[in-house]
Amino acid sequence: MTLYVLVGPSGAGKTTLQKMFEQYGASGVTSSTTRTMREGEIDGKDYHFLSNEEFDAKILAGDFLEHVQFGGNRYGVDEASVISALVKGKNNVAVIVTEIEGFLEIKEYVKNNDYPFDVKGIFIDAPKDVLIERLHKRGGMSEETIASRVALLDQELANKKYFEGEDDIILSHPHLVVMDVCAKGQVLGELIRPSSHEYPTL
């Protein structure tokens, strides 16, 4: 069983890559959050929506592999959700998108505990100018929000250094990310058949 953790700067295509994983049979991990449920979201599918008290209880019980606070809300990945996704996923493969802190916490937690699955990180790299262009084209964000994300790009790109281990992968061709995955021969196993020529693009 393998959990792939996707990390990269804003605009790199993390969510798109996660959808590619799921398209080929991997199961997405449902995270927990204390933020308010938005219109159209489904509890247990988009997130496990928890109160602060419920979130605290899960921390005390040691349920979370990682948890962070972001934008005034709390987010966490619990063991039960990961195991559930691994059992459901084709070839027992699951995938999740996190920030760099989440990836490092999950990897350390699993390393120090007796878990029946491997954790492999994928860092999506891209030129800074391409990322800035994508952020402006994405829509739904104010100029202030875009500026704040652009300001973090150098720091986010520098996180590539954490993915130089033999179990982790750096994808450097964001426009042909799945083709690059296949070429490395380390990701997805039979989820993507090497003979297939129908490579989705970002």
Residues with catalytic annotation? 38, 138, 149
Structure tokens at 2: 């393998």
Nearest to 26 by CA among 114, 86, 97: 86
Q: Which residue has the tokens 């059992």?
A: 87
**DSSP category for residue 15:** H
DSSP code at position 31: P
**Look-up: residue for tokens 């993507």?**
192
Amino acid in position 121: G
Contact indicator for 6, 17 with CB cutoff of 8 Å? yes
| Joined tokens for residue 177 | 């990310």
- The vertex-96 CA angle with 195 and 147, nearest 5°, equals 110
Contact 143, 22 (CB under 8 A): no
